[in-house]
Chain A
Amino acid sequence: MWTLNKKIALGLGLLLPQWVMAAELNAANTAWVLTSTALVLFMTLPGLSLFYGGLVRSKNVLSILMQCFSITCLVSILWLAGIYSLIFSEGGNWQAIIGGLSKCFIPQMTIQNLTGDIPEAAFFMFQLTFAIITPALIVGAFAERMKFSSMLWFSGLWLILVYMPICHWIWGGGWLQSLGVRDFAGGIVIHVNAGIAALVSALVLGRRKGFPTVSMPPHNMTMVVTGAGMLWVGWFGFNAGSALKADGSAAMTLLVTHIAAASGSLVWMIIEWRRFKRPSVLGIATGMVAGLGTITPASGFVGPLGGLIIGGLAGGVCFYATQYIKRVLVIDDSLDVFPVHGVGGIMGSLLTAIFSDRSLGGIGLDEGITIGHQLGVQALAVIITIIWSGIFSYLILIAINKMLGLRVTQDEEVEGLDIVLHEETGYHKLN
């Protein structure tokens, strides 16, 4: 996304939003973006669903799968109705803040429409899969206790009030993009954004009944690791698809992404091994997610060395962040969304400024831009996102709590969301 805008901008000598159309469709780029779209949706359905579903207790497994599935559907319809337009269409005088309404329900879109040199339909779908996974990531924070109706309201309102503006500012030609912020595939737009919303959700909803004294181990670790593997594979589309091109940059992004996943995994594993005497399977898988989330903003700007170091730092920092949130602050961010995605996203977005530099193997900063300047822009975008996502997530939750209530009752929580909210159970022991 970034590269596309930047290349067009460089070509024309000024920054124009990406609806500027190139004359011809490029089949190779189109094929890769279509493939990447499938890979990124695969991250949510079924990757994240399985990863999260396995981490909760068996009485809540369906509630997690249902949340991921229904968010996919809800976001898709909202995206068509106007979110896509308000992020990616020309906003005229308001462009710095928000896009326009001309593409609500995309009435003019035909198979001939191009965004850059790929079909606009492909661009629409690729971007949609990012908008789907962002609210889906947040459900890990309030797992096992939130009402389904409230969860739907929260996800929809959060998409409109938080994801839409932040995404427009950074990717849709908004003011942060004009300042030159570098967020290749969503370190800020997705991971910081969702991570902060997760932390706020965990604080507003409060702890699960019994946390932290009652044992709440993952009910199915094989499901967790299966989902984690799917996330790793899907992340190739997430990061390497974000150049919207099938070229050397996409290949390097894929390589960097992969190395970061591997180094994040190993670092987390080694720390656990030394500290708790055993290398855990959940640990290595969580280190992978931390490495991937953290490399996301940097993935198209840094070299393999950057991937190795950023991934490794993610494995260490996110490990200690998880311990701190859970053990010291005793916040029940149930599936550790903030310490992994939020902390990783913040760190990766800042490190992007440093490892973009040519001397560290990156593709280089823009002409005349120093590391210090870029770091300042990155920090500004991160802080703005933390404040915006923090405040609006809080307000949305408070409003829903007033109108519908956020949590199921304590008795219902003990019985499990599957049977209480959906009248189904994940596992039938007698057939």
Chain B
Amino acid sequence: MKLITAIIKPFKLDDVREALSEIGVAGVTATEVKGFGRQKGHTELYRGAEYVVDFLPKVKLEIAVADSVVELAVETIVKAANTGKIGDGKIFISSLEQVIRIRTGETGEDAI
């Protein structure tokens, strides 16, 4: 099993969620986060006082999937979240030791 962590542009959240539903991914956790990468920040002006905003708002998705689904899921996210412009985000994949469904106590891929 793998844990896919995807950082995407906030307005792409609905597109990504729909695309993932279509390929049968059953659960996603989304968090509003802030960060910076190559896109860097921007400036904001309040009554002429300039503030450099280093951290931009992004959405972080966490998706646990079976090994067999990883490739398709990543492909789907990349396609749905891509705008071609700087700041589209990143995907991290890490191995997942165990998954437990709290209600039933099921473990492993049955719990995904």
**CB-defined interface of B24-50 with A at 8 Å, one 1/0 digit per residue?**
000000000000000000001111110
Contact A336 B52 (CB under 8 A): no
Q: Does A410 contact B (CB under 8 A)?
A: no
How far is it, in angstroms, between the C-alpha of A310 and the C-alpha of B102 when the chains are bound?
Answer: 67
> In chain A between 273 and 290, which residues have their CB closer than 8 angstroms to a CB of chain B?
276, 278, 280, 282-283, 286
How far is it, in angstroms, between the C-alpha of A282 and the C-alpha of B46 when the chains are bound?
Answer: 7
Name A215's contact: one of B47, B48, B53 (CB within 8 Å): B53
Contact B47 A326 (CB under 8 A): yes
B residues less than 8 Å from A278 (CB atoms):
45
> In chain A between 281 and 331, which residues have their CB closer than 8 angstroms to a CB of chain B?
282-283, 286, 319, 322-323, 326-327
Contact A322 B51 (CB under 8 A): no
CB closest chain-B residue, reference A221: B46
Contact B44 A217 (CB under 8 A): yes
CB closest chain-B residue, reference A275: B48
> In chain A between 211 and 252, which residues have their CB closer than 8 angstroms to a CB of chain B?
212, 215-218
CB closest chain-B residue, reference A327: B48
Contact B45 A280 (CB under 8 A): yes
Distance to closest chain B CB from A193 (angstroms): 22
Contact A276 B48 (CB under 8 A): yes
How far is it, in angstroms, between the C-alpha of A212 and the C-alpha of B48 when the chains are bound?
Answer: 12
B residues less than 8 Å from A280 (CB atoms):
45-46
Count residues of A near B (Cβ-Cβ below 8 Å): 18
A residues less than 8 Å from B44 (CB atoms):
217
Contact B51 A323 (CB under 8 A): no
> In chain A between 180 and 238, which residues have their CB closer than 8 angstroms to a CB of chain B?
212, 215-218
How far is it, in angstroms, between the C-alpha of A278 and the C-alpha of B42 when the chains are bound?
Answer: 14
Contact A283 B47 (CB under 8 A): yes
Contact A322 B47 (CB under 8 A): yes
B residues less than 8 Å from A216 (CB atoms):
51
CB closest chain-A residue, reference B44: A217
Q: Would you call the interface of chain B mostly helix, strand, loop, or mixed?
A: strand
Q: Taking each of B45, B46, B49, which has the highest tally of chain A beta carbons within 10 Å of its own beta carbon?
A: B46
Contact B45 A212 (CB under 8 A): no
B residues less than 8 Å from A212 (CB atoms):
49
B residues less than 8 Å from A276 (CB atoms):
45, 48
B residues less than 8 Å from A286 (CB atoms):
47
Contact A326 B45 (CB under 8 A): no
A residues less than 8 Å from B46 (CB atoms):
217-218, 280, 282
Name B51's contact: one of A215, A272, A283, A327 (CB within 8 Å): A215
A residues less than 8 Å from B49 (CB atoms):
212, 326-327
A residues less than 8 Å from B48 (CB atoms):
272, 276, 319, 322-323, 326-327
Distance to closest chain A CB from B55 (angstroms): 11
A residues less than 8 Å from B51 (CB atoms):
215-217
How far is it, in angstroms, between the C-alpha of A245 and the C-alpha of B45 when the chains are bound?
Answer: 43
> In chain B between 39 and 97, which residues have their CB closer than 8 angstroms to a CB of chain A?
44-49, 51-53
B residues less than 8 Å from A217 (CB atoms):
44, 46, 51, 53
Distance to closest chain B CB from A225 (angstroms): 13
How far is it, in angstroms, between the C-alpha of A327 and the C-alpha of B46 when the chains are bound?
Answer: 12
A residues less than 8 Å from B47 (CB atoms):
282-283, 286, 322, 326, 336
> In chain A between 56 and 72, which residues have their CB closer than 8 angstroms to a CB of chain B?
none
How far is it, in angstroms, between the C-alpha of A322 and the C-alpha of B46 when the chains are bound?
Answer: 11
How far is it, in angstroms, between the C-alpha of A269 and the C-alpha of B105 when the chains are bound?
Answer: 60
How far is it, in angstroms, between the C-alpha of A218 and the C-alpha of B44 when the chains are bound?
Answer: 11
B residues less than 8 Å from A323 (CB atoms):
48
How far is it, in angstroms, between the C-alpha of A286 and the C-alpha of B46 when the chains are bound?
Answer: 10
CB closest chain-A residue, reference B47: A322
Distance to closest chain B CB from A300 (angstroms): 30
Distance to closest chain B CB from A390 (angstroms): 24
> In chain A between 313 and 356, which residues have their CB closer than 8 angstroms to a CB of chain B?
319, 322-323, 326-327, 336
B residues less than 8 Å from A326 (CB atoms):
47-49
A binding-site residues for B, Cβ under 8 Å: 212, 215-218, 272, 276, 278, 280, 282-283, 286, 319, 322-323, 326-327, 336
B binding-site residues for A, Cβ under 8 Å: 44-49, 51-53
**A215-B51, A319-B48 are known contacts; what are 6 more A-B pairs with Cβ within 8 Å?**
A218-B46, A272-B48, A282-B47, A286-B47, A326-B49, A327-B48
What would 20 A/B residue contacts be, using CB atoms closer than 8 Å? Answer: A212-B49, A215-B51, A215-B52, A216-B51, A217-B46, A217-B53, A218-B46, A272-B48, A276-B45, A280-B46, A282-B47, A319-B48, A322-B47, A323-B48, A326-B47, A326-B48, A326-B49, A327-B48, A327-B49, A336-B47
Shortest 8 CB-CB distances between A and B: which pairs?
Answer: A215-B51, A323-B48, A217-B51, A276-B45, A282-B46, A322-B47, A217-B46, A217-B44
